[in-house]
Amino acid sequence: MDKTDTPAVDEGCCGTGADAPARKRDREATKGVLLDAAKMVFAERGFDAATTRDIAGRAGVNEQLIQRYFSGKAGLLLAVVERYGREEGSGCAMPPPGDDLEEDLAAFLLHQLRHAWKCRDFTRVMLARALVDPDIANEMARTLSESRIPCLLSRLEVFRERGAIAADADLAHVAAGIATLSFGLGFLDQVVFGRCPDRVNEVVKTLAHTMAHGLAPRA
Helices vs strands, H then E, count in the chain: 10, 0
Q: Report pLDDT for 154.
A: 93
State pLDDT tens for residues 57-109: 999 999 999 999 999 999 999 999 998 877 765 446 788 899 999 999 999 99
| Count of C-beta atoms within a 10 Å radius of residue 116 | 20
Asked if 78 contacts 66 with a C-beta cutoff of 8 angstroms, the reply is no
Q: Report pLDDT for 17.
A: 56
Question: Which of 24-28, 108-112, 164-168 reaches the highest mean pLDDT?
Answer: 164-168
Q: Report pLDDT for 89.
A: 56
DSSP string over 2-66: -GGGGGG--TTS---STTHHHHHHHHHHHHHHHHHHHHHHHHHHHHHH--HHHHHHHHTS-THHH
Model confidence at 9: pLDDT above 80: no
Q: Which domains does the chain have, with CATH numbers?
A: 22-78 (1.10.10.60), 92-218 (1.10.357)
Q: Which region among 117-126, 145-154, 209-218 has the lowest average model confidence (pLDDT)?
A: 145-154
Give the C-alpha distances (Å, rounded to integers) separating 211 from 2, 189, 205. 58, 20, 10
Model confidence at 172: pLDDT above 90: yes
* List of long-range contacts for 48-52, beta carbons under 8 Å, 24+ apart: 52/76
State pLDDT tens for residues 106-130: 999 999 899 889 999 999 999 999 9
- Quick check: helix, strand or coil at residue 71? coil
